């Protein structure tokens, strides 16, 4: 089984042409340059390998396919591959083709001559995914992105909030903030959670540097290396990688339309006795599905029976109905830890997230937070609190949801006209589509055309080919993308 290529990638900004053309400026090689075409092609692959956009074990296109894609002779491609082999970047496997080699850095030896144990490999290269999000800023729309487009966000609201905070006394900014987080934010969050039917007072809430930091705090507090943890599959690969790097054993639970496969979940609980289940109940990434009330009750019954703590990641809360079923609401924060943040609705720049938990756990989470970041940024937390208390965030979210509904309708039509089907009902920010071919390989071709995509292999805890692809409804409204996807998928 070959490793998943982190194909949620975008070509460097220098490769993009103006949006009107739909083709990156460097889609073709420079024939009038002083550098031979084989060298140019080898450098292009070397760059992607160096950035880990092509990971070890990834298969390069066949000589014929690569020649057709770049408009060169097969001999030029063979020359490029020979150069990559000479640099130790790829290897030829008889009757199979060319593959990216594992680059093994030299490891220092422990006293006594024993080599230091290598870190447990992550299922995907999470850092490549994160870097790709920054590289994808600007240029063509990015159907594989996980955030809203910049022009959907309210910069004026952010400026008003910061001015309001800056107008107040600044003396408190000269010392560390409250370890639990700014009290005005925690008070606003308590009221926000009450609107969702989740009762949590300020002593149960801990602020964090975004939702990802919150997830890290919880797992580092409650788990030890070697512990088992249940995760949804498909799910978010960055979370899979983070947990694996922490030395935890992932136990994937198939995620369906109503929620997790309860029979598989109970079998894993019985066999492995995991201590934690990390899940997205509402507008699950990548399927867009939400937990049904009946499934939620069954999950909580299993948690009681097997002494399981549930971490509920509600990252997309502002895009979902307030009445959506949440485990923390039904459980009253007894066995659940609720996590959310504001990067998906306000701005990715404001790294403000939070944990709501039983009081005893909240104190332990504060201890872990102190060891990782000491405290968090009070001015930003106060700005978020102002947005919440003034109702400005609610009004902004309502506008975004209305715009997203319209974008989703347009995108669904474009997808269906292009011949693609949705395997789950289109909801929320993401669509889960059937493409009919290996989307991991397809993503590399689309990258050559300037389109950032998110193939299905990225959303599985173990590498496996997938014909599914996640799209962002807000960034998939360009007909050129669907024409390119149809054309490219038809020749894969």
Task: Kindly give the pairing relationship between strand 430-434 and strand 421-422.
Answer: antiparallel
CB-CB contact of 189 with 354 (8 Å): yes
For 331, the token pair is 């459980």
**Domain count along the chain:** 2
* pLDDT for the residue 254: 94
> What integer pLDDT is reported at residue 96 of this predicted model?
87
Q: What is the pLDDT of residue 107?
A: 44
The sign of the torsion formed by the CA atoms of 354, 357, 360, 361 equals: negative
- Residue 291 has φ and ψ, to the nearest 5°, of -65, 135
Strands 228-233 and 276-279, bridge-based pairing: parallel
* Among candidate residues 355, 389, 423, the one where a domain is terminated: 389
Judged by phi (left if over 0) then psi (alpha if -120 to 50, else beta), residue 436 lies in left
Q: Residue 65: give its domain's CATH number.
A: 1.10.10.10
Domain edge (last residue) among 371, 389, 407? 389
| Domain match, 199 and 298 both | yes
Claim to verify: residue 63 and residue 177 sit in the same structural domain:
no
**Do 180 and 98 fall within a single domain?**
no
Q: Read off the tokens for 432.
A: 């889960």
The answer to whether position 462 is within a domain reads no
| Residue 490: predicted pLDDT | 84
Residue 162 lies in a domain: no
- 14 contact partners, CB below 8 Å, separation of at least 6: 25, 26
- How much is the pLDDT for 139? 65
Report which of 221, 103, 180, 230 is spatially closest to residue 366, judged by C-alpha positions.
180
Token code pair at residue 184: 């005005």
Q: What is the pLDDT of residue 32?
A: 64
Return the number of other C-beta atoms located less than 10 Å from residue 446's C-beta.
Answer: 23
Q: Is 91 helix (H, G, I), strand (E, B) or coil?
A: strand
Instruction: Classify residue 406 as exposed, middle or buried by CB count within 10 Å of its CB (0-12, 13-18, 19+).
Output: exposed
Residues 81, 83, 89, 93, CA torsion sign: positive
Rounded to 10 deg, the angle between the 237-245 and 126-135 helix axes is 140
476: in domain: no
pLDDT of residue 10: 40
Domain of residue 5: give its range.
Answer: 1-103
DSSP string for residues in 195-232: HTT----GGGEEEESHHHHHHHHHHHHH--TT-EEEEE
Position 22 in a domain: yes
Q: Which residues contact 266 (CB under 8 A, 6 or more apart)?
A: 302
Q: Which of 81, 16, 73 is nearest to 44 (CA)?
A: 81
CA dihedral 323, 393, 194, 221 (to 10 degrees): 100
Specify whether 264 is located in the same domain as 347: yes
pLDDT of residue 168: 87
Q: What is the CATH number of the domain that holds 271?
A: 3.40.640.10
Starting from the edge strand earliest in sequence, which strands make up the sheet with 454-455, in order?
A: 421-422, 430-434, 468-472, 454-455
Please give the pLDDT value at position 122: 37
- pLDDT tens digit at each of 492 positions of the chain: 334 334 443 433 333 333 333 323 334 576 666 678 888 898 888 877 875 667 788 889 999 888 888 888 888 999 899 889 888 899 999 888 999 987 655 444 434 333 333 333 333 454 555 555 555 545 678 899 889 999 999 999 999 999 999 998 888 788 899 999 999 999 999 999 999 999 999 999 999 999 999 999 999 999 999 999 999 999 988 899 899 999 999 999 999 999 999 999 999 999 999 999 999 999 999 999 999 999 999 999 999 999 999 999 999 999 998 899 999 999 999 999 999 999 999 999 999 999 999 999 999 999 999 999 999 999 999 999 999 999 999 999 999 999 999 999 999 999 999 999 999 999 999 999 999 998 988 988 888 888 889 999 889 887 678 899 999 999 999 999 999 999 999 854
Q: Is residue 129 assigned to a domain? A: no
pLDDT of 260 reads 97
Among candidate residues 83, 103, 123, the one where a domain is terminated: 103
Q: To the nearest 5 percent, what fractions of the chain are helix, strand and coil?
A: 45, 15, 45
């Amino acid at each position: 089984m070959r490793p998943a290529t982190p194909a949620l990638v975008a070509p460097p900004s220098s490769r993009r042409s103006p949006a009107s053309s739909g083709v990156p400026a460097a889609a073709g090689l420079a024939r009038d340059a002083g550098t031979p075409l084989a060298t140019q092609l080898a450098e292009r692959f070397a760059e992607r390998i160096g950035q880990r956009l092509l990971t070890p074990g990834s298969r390069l296109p066949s000589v014929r396919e690569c020649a057709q894609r770049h408009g060169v002779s097969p001999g030029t491609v063979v020359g490029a591959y020979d150069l990559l082999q000479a640099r130790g970047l790829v290897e030829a496997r008889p009757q199979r083709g060319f593959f990216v080699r594992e680059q093994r850095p030299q490891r220092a030896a422990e006293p006594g001559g024993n080599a230091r144990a290598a870190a447990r490999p992550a299922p995907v290269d999470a850092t490549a995914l994160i870097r790709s999000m920054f590289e994808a800023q600007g240029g063509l729309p990015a159907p594989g992105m996980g955030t809203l487009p910049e022009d959907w966000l309210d910069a004026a609201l952010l400026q008003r909030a910061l001015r309001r905070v800056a107008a107040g006394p600044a003396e408190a900014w000269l010392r560390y903030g409250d370890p639990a987080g700014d009290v005005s934010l925690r008070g606003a969050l308590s009221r926000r959670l009450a609107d969702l039917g989740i009762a949590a007072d300020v002593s149960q809430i801990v602020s964090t540097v975004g939702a990802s930091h919150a997830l890290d705090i919880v797992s580092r507090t409650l788990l030890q290396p070697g512990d088992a943890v249940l995760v949804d599959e498909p799910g978010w690969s960055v979370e899979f990688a983070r947990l694996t790097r922490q030395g935890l054993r992932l136990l994937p639970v198939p995620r369906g339309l109503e929620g997790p496969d309860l029979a598989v979940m109970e079998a894993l609980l019985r066999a492995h006795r995991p201590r934690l289940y990390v899940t997205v109940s509402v507008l699950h990434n990548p399927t867009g599905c939400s937990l049904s009330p009946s499934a939620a009750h069954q999950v909580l019954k299993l948690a009681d029976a097997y002494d399981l703590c549930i971490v509920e990641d509600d990252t997309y809360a502002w895009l979902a109905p307030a009445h959506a079923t949440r485990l923390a609401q039904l459980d009253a924060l007894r066995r659940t830890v609720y996590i959310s943040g504001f990067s998906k609705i306000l701005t990715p720049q404001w790294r403000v997230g939070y944990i709501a938990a039983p009081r005893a756990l909240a104190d332990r989470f504060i201890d872990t937070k102190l060891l990782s970041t000491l405290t968090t940024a009070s001015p930003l937390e106060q700005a978020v609190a102002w947005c919440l208390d003034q109702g400005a965030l609610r009004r902004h979210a309502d506008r975004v949801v209305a715009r997203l509904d319209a974008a989703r309708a347009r995108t669904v039509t474009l997808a269906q006209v292009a011949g693609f089907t949705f395997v789950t009902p289109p909801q929320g920010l993401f669509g889960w589509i059937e493409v009919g071919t290996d989307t991991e390989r397809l993503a590399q071709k689309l990258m050559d055309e300037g389109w950032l995509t998110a193939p299905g292999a990225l959303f599985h805890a173990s590498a496996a080919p997938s014909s599914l692809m996640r799209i962002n409804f807000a960034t998939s409204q360009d007909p050129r993308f669907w024409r390119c996807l149809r054309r490219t998928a038809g020749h894969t």
